[in-house]
Amino acid sequence: MIRKKVKLAYITNDSSRKATYKKRNKGLMKNMSELSTLCGINTCAIMYSPDESQLEVWPSPIGGQQVLSKFRMILEMEQRKNMVNQESFLSQRTVKVVEQLKKHCKDNQEKEMTLVMFNNICGKWVIHGFNFRDINDLNGIIIIVLIHGCTSTDDDGNAQSNAEDRYKGYCAIGCE
C-alpha cells in the first residue's frame, strides 16, 4: 500500500493529533534505541505533551539524567563547539553557499568562454558585444588552452590532452 505524502501542518482534530503523537513517539523511541545500539552511543529523549501528566523520558529518567550530566560535564568550550544556534548555522550555511555560487559562476564563465573561443575558431560565431571582463576571460582561456595545452574532458568524459585534441572535439560537433 502506498502512503500518501503527509502535509506538515498542525492537526486540528484532537483524536487524530493524539494518535499521530503516539505513533510518531513510538517510532522516535525505536530510532533512538537503534541509534544507541548501532553506534554505541548514549542517547536520551525528553518529550512533553500537554495531554500527558508527566514528561516522557527515554530510556528512563535515570538514563536521561546520566546522559545530561555527562553533557554538562563537557567543558564550556566543547559545548559551544558542538552546539550551534540558528543564527550561526544560517550564517555558516550562507557563507558556504556563496562560496559554491562563486565557484560555479567561475566555472560557467570559463566553460562559456571556451565554447565561444572554439565556436569562433570553427567559424560558427563572431565575437561582438563583449564587455571588458568577457574579453579578458576569453584571453585567459586562449592562453591556457593554446599555450599550455591544458588537459580536460569533453562532454562525453573522454580525456583531451591538448589544444589540438580539444579543437578537434569542438569541430567534430559540426563546424568542419
pLDDT of residue 48: 87
Q: What average pLDDT does the segment 133-160 reach?
A: 64
Element (H, E) at 46: strand 45-47
d(CA 154, CA 114): 12
With a pLDDT cut of 90, the percent of the chain lying above it is: 21
pLDDT of residue 171: 40
Average pLDDT, the chain: 78
pLDDT at 54 over 80: yes
Cβ–Cβ < 8 Å for 11, 24 = no
| Cell triple for 170 | 569542438
Give the count of alpha carbons within 13 A of 119, CB side only. 11
What domains can be seen in the chain, in order of their start residue? 14-83 (3.40.1810.10), 88-149+163-172 (no CATH)
* φ and ψ of 92, to 5 deg: -65, -45
pLDDT of residue 34: 94
pLDDT at 175 over 50: no
For 16, the 3-state DSSP assignment is helix
- Other beta carbons within 10 angstroms of residue 138's beta carbon come to 19
Residue type, position 90, single letter: L
pTM above 0.75, yes or no: no
For 47, the 3-state DSSP assignment is strand
- The DSSP call for residue 9 is S
Tens-digit pLDDT profile for residues 69-81 = 888 887 666 766 7
| Cell triple for 75 | 567543558
pLDDT of residue 13: 92
